[in-house]
Structure formats: C-alpha cells, structure tokens
Chain A
Amino acid sequence: MQYGMIIDLERCVGCHACTIACKAEWEVPVEFGRNWVKRLGPSKVGNELASTYYPGLCNHCAKPPCVDACPADPAEMTFKDAKSGKTTTLSVAATWKDPFNGTVQIDKSRCIGCGACVESCPYEARYINPAMVDDVSSDGKADKCTYCMPRVEAGLAPACVQTCITNARIFGDLDDPTSEVAKYVKKGAKGLEPKGESIGPNSRYYGKKKDMTLLFQESTPELADMGSVKRRAMMASMVKPAMRKARDLGLLGLAGAMLVKGLSEKKNDE
C-alpha cells in the first residue's frame, strides 16, 4: 500500500483553503506550513499564456532523502499493517518510511532538531517547529505533513482534502488500481521529480498540458548535496551539548570578543 495525493489543477482555483485548514488542524505555527499554494504565471508557455497553481506538500517519497539524512540514533520500532494486522519490526532513525502505508513520519520524542532532514528535502516540505521543545532539543523538532494519518486512521479525510472547495485534492492508495488516485495516475498525473533524479514523489499533479508545462517549468526542485547536508547535521548534533554548555557559561561571548579583537589587530598590522 502506498498512500498518495492527487492535485487536479483543472479543478484547483488557488484558494489556499487547504493550507489554512492544515494549520488549524495541526496547530502549525503562523510562519510555517505543512502545505502551500503558489500562483504561477501568467507566463508564456510556447505561444500561449498560462497561469496555474503549485499546491505543494510532502511527497512521502518512494526513496525519501530526508529519511537517509536523519542522524538520530536508530531504535527498534514495530509497525502494524492497518488492514491485515501484520507487524514488522525495523530499526529506524527519528524519521522513516512506513513499510505498510508508505507514508514518511517523524518521531518527535527522538528528533534532535538538527534540521538535516529539512535541508535534504528538495521540496522544502519540512520545517523546524519551534513550539516543540523538550530535553532532547530546545530548538524545536522537525515537522511536516503526515498525510493526516491520525485522521485517516480515525476514518476521516485529510484536513486539506476535506476542506478543498472544488475536490481538487484526492487522497487514496496508489497501489490499489481501483482507487481514484490510481486512475488519475493512469490518466497521466505526475509527481515533481527533482532535476535528473528519481525519488518517487507520491503527491502528483494532473492538469491541462500548458498548465502542467508551466508547473514543471517553474517548480521542479533540485536535490540538495547530501554529502554536505549530512556532514553539517552530524557536526551540529555532536557538538550541540558542548556548545550549549559554553554558551551557558558565557564563554561564547568571550570567544567572540577575542575574535573581533584579533581581526582588528590584524587590520592595524597591515
């Protein structure tokens, strides 16, 4: 099973209802969003004018770079198939791809807030939620769209789907050929793959040819350089406790002052 979402651009009117409903449902801080709507154009596409929207959200990717990027200590987690009740135990970091429903999720209690996953997501679908602080991270935790799994498990539609005024958002199991989402894929709904890559985005778009061209022209992302993302994240998470201590003891200020002094002395020397 692989949950996925279709956004039918023929129906979308760019009203942002999805964005706001999600904010209310999941208490997303004002300055962030688990999804977004961008108006594209009017621009020339070939000889024609086109204008459409880019309603984006987490793609719950087939090969999610964010999962690979997470440096948190792995832990054993048991997953359960909602349908068959089957379970399986995997060793996962603080973010993972669910082996049964295909969604990508975060364990807030284990997330160290380093931001590696945020930087690794080519769609900028993640943010650090500063409202979520605990002993593990005082900076907040990684947060993003969950495909509304708690709602879906309660038998409800995702909040953004429920409020969509034109039924432009359609949610379901892409692996089930009878589902509406699978039918859209057959009709040609496409995900926004990063340039030259294939990470298998599961939020997909369907629309008039010129609108799709405009969307892909303006919204195709690039993959982050994972090597450096990961290295920076590792460094950050390793040195964090020590740096905190230093800051608490007032040492950082001193170091800063010395550095400034050093620089100005150098200038004088020249």
Chain B
Amino acid sequence: MAFNLTRRKFLQTASLAAATVPLAKFVSAETGVAKVSLEAQGTMGDTTVVGGLCEMCFWRCQLVGKVRDGQLMKLEGNPKSIDNGTAICARGNAGVKLLYDVDRLKYPLKNVGKRGEPIWKRISWKEALDECGSKLKAVVDQHGPQGICVFPHGASAKYPMHYFERTVGTHNVSEASFFQCRGIRDAAYVNTIGKAPGEFVDMANTKVLFLTGSHLGENIHVSHIKAYINGLQNGAKLIVADPRYSAAAAKSDIWVQIKPGTDTAYLLAIMNYLVTNKKYDKEFVTKHTVGFDKFSAAISEWTLDKAAKECDIPAVQIKEVAELLAANAPNVAIHPGRHVSWYGNDFQRERALACLTGLLGAYYVKGGWVPPKNPKIGKTSWATQEHGDEHNLNVSNNKMVHPFKPPGTPTELIRDCAITSKPYPIKGCVIWGQNPMQTIPNQEKMKQVFNAMDFVMCVDVMPTDVTMWADILLPESSYLERHDEIKVGVGKIKADDKEPTQFIAPRMPLVAPMFERKDQVYITNEIARRMGHEKDIPVQTLEELVNKTLESANITLASVKAEGGIHLQPGKSGYGVPEDFEVLLFNEEIAEAGFPGAPTYTPVEEVPAGYARLLYGRAPVHTFNRSQNNVWLNHEMPDNPVWLNDEVAKKLGVKDGDTVGFINSEGVKSRTTTTVKVTPGIRKDAVYMYHGYGSANPLMTAGVGKGVDDQSLITKIAVDPETGCHGMRNNFVKLQTKDDKTLDFPA
C-alpha cells in the first residue's frame, strides 16, 4: 500500500467530505475509574449471582457465578447445594470459556454454499425463521408430519422435540442419549424391575461396588464421584471388569481383565454360581422375583470354566468375585452403568445386571440400588396428541420391530427410511443440540441422510461438525444465559442427618445473552407460528415455562432465587423394599416377543486377524465433542493418545509418543493422527482412545483436527435387536504410520 501522504499531513490538511454517520452507541455517563493492577484481583470481591445450573455435561451441578462488571469471571458450586456443594469439575469450571468462546455462534446464518461445504452469510432472525417455518411447512404439506426427522440432545432440545413429536406429529425423533447411550439400560431395567435405574446405587454406604466397563473417574459427575470415593474411603471393596486398566480399575481390589463383548457370559457365570451354590438371597428371591426356575435353568450352562474360557479370565477370579458379592449381600452395589450401547447384545447384559442385583437382594437396601425419593414438579410442555402408528417406522405388519426400544424411533430405521424414501419420504431435518456426525455410527450414511433432505436446520451454541450440513444455522443462548431445566434430587445437609433433604434447582441465567442468541422457547414458538400452530403454543417465554413447572411444588423462580438458587424441603430415604416390587428374572413378555426371556449371552464378532478392536471412552475434562473447542479444556488434554499394549507395541515397532493414524476393517481411514500411549494396561486385542476428538469443522478453531475422531472409524453398524439402539464397539482397526505404512496386529 503506497499512500502518498503521511497520516499527520493528511489530518492537518485534508478536509473530508462530510461523512456524518448517526451513531451514538456510547452514551456519556459519569462513572468511577477502576485502577487496573498487574496482580489478578481474585474473585472474592465480585458479585455472586445465584441460580446457575451447569450443563457442560448433563449432571446439572448447581452453580453460582462471580460477576465483575457484567463479565462472568468464574463459576463455583453453589454453597447451598446438597448435591455437588461448592465443588464443580474441570468442565464446570471451564463454562466461562464456552460462554465467551470466540467461535461460538452469534447470529443466524444461512448456507449459501453446499451442505457439507457451507458458505455462511449472516441473516436476520426474521429471515431465518421465515425460512425455517416455510421450508418445514412445505415438507409437512407435501409429505405429512412424518416427513420430518428430529435429532435432539440436551435440556434445550426438549421443548422443540415435544413440539415436533406432539404437535406436528412425527414419530421420527432419535435422541442420542437413548439410542447411542443409555436407552438400553433404561429399557432393560424397565423390563426387569419396572423402572429405569438411573445410577441410583448407594455407593457411599456399600460394602462392594461392582462395575462392568465403567468410566467412573474418567467421566466425572460430581455428586456421583463424591459418593464413589466416599464409599471406597469407607472401606468398600471395588470389582472392575474392563479390558483396560481404567481409572476405576486403578482403584480396584479385583480387576477382571475381561475380553471385550463377553461381559454377559461373566455375569451369567456369577449368577449361576450363586444359584447352584445356594448363595443367593432366598428370602428376597421368593418374595420379590418372578420366574426363578426358568431363569436358573436357562443360565445353568454357564459354569465358571465355560465363562472363564469365553471371557478369557481365570475361573477362580469369577468365583472370587461371586464369593465376595455373596459374602456382603445385600449391601452390594451392582452399578447399572451409563453409556451401554456397546456391542449390539447389550439389552441382555443390562437385564443380567438387574437380575444379579435381585439374586443378591440388593434392591432398596443400604449400599444397594436405592432410588431417591425426589420432589415432584410439573411437566409443562406442548400438549400430547395421539398420532396413530400408521407412520411409526418401528411398527411393521402390526408388529414392533424393536419391541423394547426406549422413547423415540430407533436411529437406523429413520436413516434407512430417509435414504430410500421407503416406506415414505423424509425430507425435513431438525438438529437441536445433537452432533449426529460424532454420535451416530457411520458418518457416510449420516451424510446421505442430510443429502436426501429438502431442508436441514440446526440449532446449537457451537459450530459442531453437523452444523456444516445445515441450510439454516441458529445460535442458541447457552445454559449460563437462560432459564431452563430443573434439577431435583435428594441429599444431606449434614453428613450424619438421619433423613435426606429434597432439593429443587431451576436454571437461572447468570449473565445476559450476547449478540443475537435466543432460547429454545423463542425459536420453537416462532417456527410454530409460521407452521400454523399458534394456538397450540403452551407458553410465551422460557421463564414462564419454568414457573409453570414449579407451580405444583408451590414455588416460583423468584422465591427460589431469594432462597439462594436452590429450594430445600424435608425428604425421606429410599430404603425399604415396596411390597409390590418385582424382579422379572424370567420375562414372559420378552420371550413372547421372540427374544430370550432369561438373560442370554450372544457372542460378538471376533477380531479379524491383523486388527484390534476399537474401544473408546471418556476424558475427564471433556463431554464428548461438546467441549473440544473450550480453550481451557483443550489445553488440559489437547489430543486423545491411543492406548496400545506394550508387548504389541514392541512387536509393531511402535514407541510411546509416536504419531499414528488408523484404517478400519472396512477401509475407512482416520482423517487425522494422534500419538501412541504404550502401556501394559490394555489387552493385546484392543486399542482404546478418548471419544469426541478430531473435530472436522474448521470453525472450531481450537478443537479442529486435534486427535482422532473415533466415531469416523465406527462404520460397522450393530443394532441391539430388542431395543434398536446402536452397538459401537464392533469395529476393528490397524495402525498407520506417518509414512502411510499399515501395521498388522500380531496374532
């Protein structure tokens, strides 16, 4: 640039044509001057704002914000909390950096490029909403409500999900938290004890904690981890079955280094041992279980030796586990797990866990499975309407395809229908807070689904990978900027309290939303108006929604705020088995539907020669991909080193810290590379890495391309037959070196 004038000369001589621009964004006001010292001042003097409810993950710890001059400096646990107390985890603490993430979505965007290769243009809310409303309406007009599919996740997605499900009337809703996570668990327990189990194990008071493939300590849920550590400190014995020396295994008394996919065989052998040696709780079994005879006959083939062979573990170890459980029953905690969509044989494994709990009489007793007696609140949302089963993809020839599915429609049914237009076309897609690219197996198939659509809209806080496929992308206010979701539970004010206290903690904003971010009630209502559902709108604002939900508990947002953000009321412990409580050891209904009525083990595909099974799990500082772009969290764990058995590494000639990529058994290569962690703490036939890394969207400037996206390698689709949920651990990989050499795993 060659400007001929110097700045000073120009300013002295030039007289500008009047460019009077009426802009008065600064309003003069007399205010004090704050001296900025070098030393950070700490947050002790900042204003405390109450009512925060964390959603860096979905445990919803109660927060306060430290606010300085309208700026959120820090998040802390709410001192009034009887759940997480003043503690929050790394992600909770790092919420500040989500709030102020440079890459966060700020304005409605329109894709003027192609799906998958977007060119974004900022547009007004009016234009954005008009576009969403008219395009979705066109789909409904042409193809019926079933022409819309919805992929929701998180607190803010519930209201729009109900709108599309109940008011618009589509069955085609697939929640990741069900179909790619814990839906199997809930379905299995519902069909065994009549209730979803949560993670309601009384770990703090247990004598033995029994974990199968758990990420306790790698996935952090504050109050849950508190109970876990308190239990161990109180002397609980810990049994961990895992192919890997996990964080929990490192604290265990017995580590069962089980062969991946065989957990059900292990559980059946334990139960068979308890039954044949009469070490089960006879009184409980007589009083509270159904189908014991059929059940014990069905599992009788599972001797210790048979299971030992199948699971590749010593028979004596299974016996040791069974004995330890029997000796401490009923005060033993059989953990139902959380992310359980593993192998496509998972419903039966979860059933086995529920039955094992029953054999040990470990329901509703100290140290066992004890559901909390939570306070009651309302359920304000869109009114439910009946839409019949004509377009329900889970019903075929008057029969349920996956009769024990969790709520919604199994993902694979939706995807197949969308791609083939059979039995009907699906042409509109609403993605709300979910990142299907990194939650649902087989990314290519997901892309086909998006490409089959007439219209795709996305609502999120961050430009996650899936947002690249949107036509319209809407920026949502985050959990720190809106009212929302109510956490209820029980806890103790003092450790030695006899009875617990109930708490109700509605989410309240800690700061105002910036830019043009809006909440789910605003967005959904505006779309509903444009689709002709004005009269069905249940509430006008999110605040009203929460207040209505609180009505039945006789409290309001204002009253809870005055109480310090959390309402407390006397509660009762959950101990004591209800008279009518039943454990269906053998479930006739399941048998009638054509599935095994007693927990049954189905072997999974063996690892093909030269490959290793790809296992994935949680990093304590991340919530899957959701937190990858958070600069603080990214700095703590920037990539996801792959765990490789030390002896295997030696044979492959791979050293700790080497850079590797992957190719899976279907020929799909990882887009990026990661480093190797050589350790004796994993089986030879498996590798392991943290889930959620390797974002593909370049808009995520901190997270993009960091580590490997395990999901991109999960291409083989396994579906749990009873529930229709995915199994994601039947994929096999080889390592690839920097110079693109593929390394075969030794036999």
> Cβ of A265 < 8 Å from any Cβ of B?
no
A 154-166 binary contact with B (CB < 8 Å = 1; else 0): 1010000011111
- A35–B325 Cα gap in the complex (Å)? 40
* A13 and B220 contact, Cβ closer than 8 Å, known pairs A42-B681, A43-B680, A132-B38: yes
Asked if A163 and B86 make an inter-chain contact with CB atoms under 8 angstroms apart, the answer reads yes
Asked if A17 and B38 make an inter-chain contact with CB atoms under 8 angstroms apart, the answer reads no
Query: What chain A residues lie within 8 Å of B88 (beta carbons)?
Result: 17, 21, 163, 165
> Cβ of A41 < 8 Å from any Cβ of B?
yes
Asked if A163 and B635 make an inter-chain contact with CB atoms under 8 angstroms apart, the answer reads no
Query: B217: which of A13, A151, A162 is its contact (CB, 8 Å)?
Result: A13
Report the contact-size class of chain B (Cβ under 8 Å from the partner).
35 or more
Asked if A41 and B217 make an inter-chain contact with CB atoms under 8 angstroms apart, the answer reads no
Query: What chain B residues lie within 8 Å of A81 (beta carbons)?
Result: none
> Cβ of A253 < 8 Å from any Cβ of B?
no
* A13 and B225 contact, Cβ closer than 8 Å, known pairs A42-B679, A51-B250: yes
> Cβ of A11 < 8 Å from any Cβ of B?
yes
B 326-363 binary contact with A (CB < 8 Å = 1; else 0): 00000000000000000000000000000000000000
> Cβ of B247 < 8 Å from any Cβ of A?
yes
Asked if B220 and A42 make an inter-chain contact with CB atoms under 8 angstroms apart, the answer reads no
Contact stretch, chosen from A24-32, A176-184, A231-239, A255-263: A24-32
- A224–B84 Cα gap in the complex (Å)? 42
Task: List the B residue with the shortest CB-CB distance to A28.
Answer: B40
Query: What chain A residues lie within 8 Å of B251 (beta carbons)?
Result: 10
Query: B39: which of A11, A50, A108, A211 is its contact (CB, 8 Å)?
Result: A108
Contact stretch, chosen from B92-100, B112-120, B151-159, B562-570: B92-100
Query: What chain A residues lie within 8 Å of B680 (beta carbons)?
Result: 42-44, 49
> Cβ of A120 < 8 Å from any Cβ of B?
no
Query: A165: which of B42, B76, B222 is its contact (CB, 8 Å)?
Result: B222
Task: Give chain B nearest CB distance to A203 CB in angstroms.
Answer: 19
- Chain A stretch 1-33: residues in CB contact (< 8 A) with chain B: 10-11, 13-17, 19-21, 23-28, 30-31, 33
B 546-569 binary contact with A (CB < 8 Å = 1; else 0): 000000000000000000000000
Asked if A109 and B679 make an inter-chain contact with CB atoms under 8 angstroms apart, the answer reads no
> Cβ of B590 < 8 Å from any Cβ of A?
no
Query: What chain B residues lie within 8 Å of A154 (beta carbons)?
Result: 44
Asked if B87 and A24 make an inter-chain contact with CB atoms under 8 angstroms apart, the answer reads no
Task: List the A residue with the shortest CB-CB distance to B248.
Answer: A13
- A150–B40 Cα gap in the complex (Å)? 10
Asked if B229 and A26 make an inter-chain contact with CB atoms under 8 angstroms apart, the answer reads no
> Cβ of B77 < 8 Å from any Cβ of A?
yes
Asked if B42 and A26 make an inter-chain contact with CB atoms under 8 angstroms apart, the answer reads yes
Asked if B86 and A162 make an inter-chain contact with CB atoms under 8 angstroms apart, the answer reads yes
Task: List the B residue with the shortest CB-CB distance to A40.
Answer: B250
Asked if A24 and B96 make an inter-chain contact with CB atoms under 8 angstroms apart, the answer reads yes
Interface size for A (C-beta < 8 A) is: 45
> Cβ of B534 < 8 Å from any Cβ of A?
no
B 640-677 binary contact with A (CB < 8 Å = 1; else 0): 00000000000000000000000000000000000000
Task: List the B residue with the shortest CB-CB distance to A133.
Answer: B38
Task: List the A residue with the shortest CB-CB distance to B42.
Answer: A150
> Cβ of A144 < 8 Å from any Cβ of B?
no
- A195–B680 Cα gap in the complex (Å)? 27
Query: What chain B residues lie within 8 Å of A41 (beta carbons)?
Result: 245, 250, 679, 681
Asked if B226 and A166 make an inter-chain contact with CB atoms under 8 angstroms apart, the answer reads yes
Query: What chain A residues lie within 8 Å of B86 (beta carbons)?
Result: 162-163
Query: A20: which of B40, B636, B682 is its contact (CB, 8 Å)?
Result: B636
Task: Give chain B nearest CB distance to A187 CB in angstroms.
Answer: 13
* A30 and B635 contact, Cβ closer than 8 Å, known pairs A17-B92, A17-B93: yes
* A17 and B632 contact, Cβ closer than 8 Å, known pairs A26-B42, A42-B680: no
Asked if B38 and A134 make an inter-chain contact with CB atoms under 8 angstroms apart, the answer reads yes
Asked if A25 and B42 make an inter-chain contact with CB atoms under 8 angstroms apart, the answer reads yes
Task: Give chain A nearest CB distance to B633 CB in angstroms.
Answer: 7
Task: List the B residue with the shortest CB-CB distance to A49.
Answer: B245
Task: List the A residue with the shortest CB-CB distance to B86.
Answer: A162
Asked if A162 and B635 make an inter-chain contact with CB atoms under 8 angstroms apart, the answer reads no
Task: List the B residue with the shortest CB-CB distance to A107.
Answer: B39
Task: List the B residue with the shortest CB-CB distance to A106.
Answer: B39
> Cβ of A52 < 8 Å from any Cβ of B?
yes
Query: What chain B residues lie within 8 Å of A156 (beta carbons)?
Result: 44
- A49–B459 Cα gap in the complex (Å)? 46
- A52–B250 Cα gap in the complex (Å)? 7
Task: List the A residue with the shortest CB-CB distance to B224.
Answer: A165
> Cβ of B621 < 8 Å from any Cβ of A?
yes
Asked if B93 and A24 make an inter-chain contact with CB atoms under 8 angstroms apart, the answer reads yes
Query: B89: which of A17, A23, A162 is its contact (CB, 8 Å)?
Result: A17
Query: What chain B residues lie within 8 Å of A21 (beta carbons)?
Result: 74, 76, 88, 93
> Cβ of A204 < 8 Å from any Cβ of B?
no
Query: What chain B residues lie within 8 Å of A13 (beta carbons)?
Result: 216-217, 220, 225, 229, 247, 620
Asked if A10 and B87 make an inter-chain contact with CB atoms under 8 angstroms apart, the answer reads no
Q: Can you identify 14 A-B contacts, CB atoms within 8 angstroms?
A: A11-B233, A15-B217, A15-B620, A16-B620, A17-B93, A19-B90, A21-B74, A21-B93, A24-B73, A42-B682, A51-B681, A151-B42, A163-B77, A165-B87
Q: Enumerate the 6 nearest inter-chain pairs by beta-carbon distance, A residue then B residue, closest first.
A: A42-B681, A20-B93, A16-B90, A51-B250, A42-B245, A24-B74
